[in-house]
Amino acid sequence: MQQRERAHHPSGLAANAELSRSASTLVNRNVTVGGRRTSMRLEPMMWEALQQICARESKTLNELVTEIDRQRSESSLTAAIRVYLLRYFRAAATDEGHRLAGHGSPGRHLPV
């Protein structure tokens, strides 16, 4: 099926919408990692999470990303950043993390 035909086909509409969403969801930004400039593509929510951590830890984005890069075992820097974000916020989601943040009830867990 040609692309124009696919756009008019019901399943093609969904596929094209999905492609448009996925193509536009990543945001490209330049960062300096260990003194070298590089660009990274992450979802907007990932960039927001990085900024939140930078504010909380009193670090610049370049400092935090350099730290993540030095400690990474993942194959790419963006993968290492996603894992770092998950670990950071997962640690905050513990009973102790909730207590320190002043929200949630200890021992009350969401269904998995």
Dihedral of the alpha carbons of 31, 32, 33, 37, in degrees to the nearest 10: 100
pLDDT (tens digit, 0 to 9) for every residue of the chain, 112 residues total? Answer: 444 444 444 555 555 555 555 456 999 999 999 999 999 999 999 999 999 999 999 999 999 999 999 999 878 999 999 999 999 999 888 888 777 766 655 555 555 5
Q: Where are the alpha helices (DSSP H) in 26-104?
A: 44-57, 61-71, 77-92, 95-101
* 81 falls within a domain: yes
Count of other CB atoms within 10 angstroms of residue 96:
11
Number of domains in the chain: 1
Domain range for 61: 28-94
* 18 falls within a domain: no
Q: Residue 74: CB partners within 8 Å, gap ≥ 6?
A: 80, 83
Residues in a beta bridge with 36: 33
* 4 falls within a domain: no
* 101 falls within a domain: no
* 61 falls within a domain: yes
